Amino acid sequence: MKGIIFFDGKFVPEEEAKVSVKTHAFNYGTGVFEGIRAFWNEKKEQLFVLALKEHFQRFENSCKILHIILPYSLEELSEIVLELLRKNELKQDVYIRPLAFSSSEKIGVKLTGLESSITIFVVPFGSYYPDEEKVRAIVSSWRRVSDNAIPARAKCCGAYVNSALAKSEALLAGFDEAIVLNEDGHVAEASAANIFIIRNGIAITPPVTANILEGITREIVISLLQNELSIEVQEREIDRTELYVAEEIFVTGTACNVSAIVEVNGIKIGDGKIGKITKSLRELYFGIVRGENEKYSFLLTPVY
């Protein structure tokens, strides 16, 4: 069933949301996007959007890096999303995709002097992995692009070719996910998710200067680890071999939520099952995003 899309300032049927093959963003990847989740609570009959303001703040930052001018305020964008969800009458878990892109029909590699457009669409969305508690990964042969090449802290459309190459390599080898190293050989992130390891009871994650996306779920998880589970968190470089000797590994992101990696390059992590910390974190996280934990209601925006 086709739905309603926000396209060039209007809510239109999906079949009317079209761009030309001459569009600059289609030819050169000159656009940015966000991934936002909304979670359905059957008991409350309510759809909750997670960290809506924070996602649009990052969206605004990405636009700034790519010289894209946003014609809407963060508050206006948030209201557009809520109205779009209502118009599509969605009552299940949803993925929300805002896109801002260079819409000029011009040949030439540049970012300045171009027209821009915004579209937002929503789709039903369940689990990112076949089993979020049992993800098998490999260390990719593809390196993470660096901030001085294509900045990872901006969700640039074209940059996700890097992620697609890494993820496809993993899938073709029979695995679920790729772990990508940066140019200096340290762990950066998964193909489209931030990564944490547990060593000696301490949670360790690469710093934002390690060519990673500044993940919003990552920030929520760091807070939960420290304040709810009393787990120390260190932001530092991670060597590749630390993955093999970690007690637990998990990845975080809008799409994957909090997912356990139980194997890397054929080596079992811990006992090859989801670890205690990861399991506790998942239970805590899903209670929050489904509106069952009033303490964290400030992270949620109800739709209906």
> In this predicted structure, what is the pLDDT of residue 1?
58
Mean pLDDT (the chain, rounded): 97
> In this predicted structure, what is the pLDDT of residue 301?
98
| Residues of the chain predicted below pLDDT 50 | none
Rg (CA), the chain: 19
Would residue 22 show up in a list of annotated catalytic residues for this protein? no
Question: Which two three-digit tokens encode residue 157?
Answer: 């459309």
CA gap 97, 119 in Å, rounded? 8
pLDDT in tens, 40-70: 999 999 999 999 999 999 999 999 999 999 9
Degrees, nearest 5: CA angle 53-54-55: 90
Active-site entry in 22, 91, 110, 155? 155
CA gap 213, 211 in Å, rounded? 7
> In this predicted structure, what is the pLDDT of residue 2?
78
Q: Are 212 and 189 spatial neighbours (Cβ–Cβ below 8 Å)?
A: yes
CA gap 195, 75 in Å, rounded? 30
**Domains along the chain?**
4-124 (3.30.470.10), 135-289 (3.20.10.10)
> In this predicted structure, what is the pLDDT of residue 33?
98
